[in-house]
Amino acid sequence: MGQFSMTCTCGHVMNVEAPSRQDAVQKLKGMMTADAVATHMADRHAGQPVPPVSAVHSMIEQGTRAG
């Protein structure tokens, strides 16, 4: 198992442990449901429009890093 992380543009870091980057991406996507995205946006991006989950998942695919 390795450590993987995804850093949002606001600086919030989500960490997961997974056997591969692909598995880490799937875990992170599973965490970022529509409700989780809405909560994150309200807490950390107040006043900004809530992006579609598909856009967040795309950012996760691009931004997930080992370490």
Q: What is the pLDDT of residue 67?
A: 87
Contact (CB, 8 A) for 1 and 15? no
Each of the 67 residues of the chain gets a pLDDT tens digit; together they read 999 999 999 999 999 999 999 999 999 999 999 999 999 999 999 999 999 999 999 999 999 999 8
Q: Angle 34-44/53-63 helices, nearest 10 degrees?
A: 80
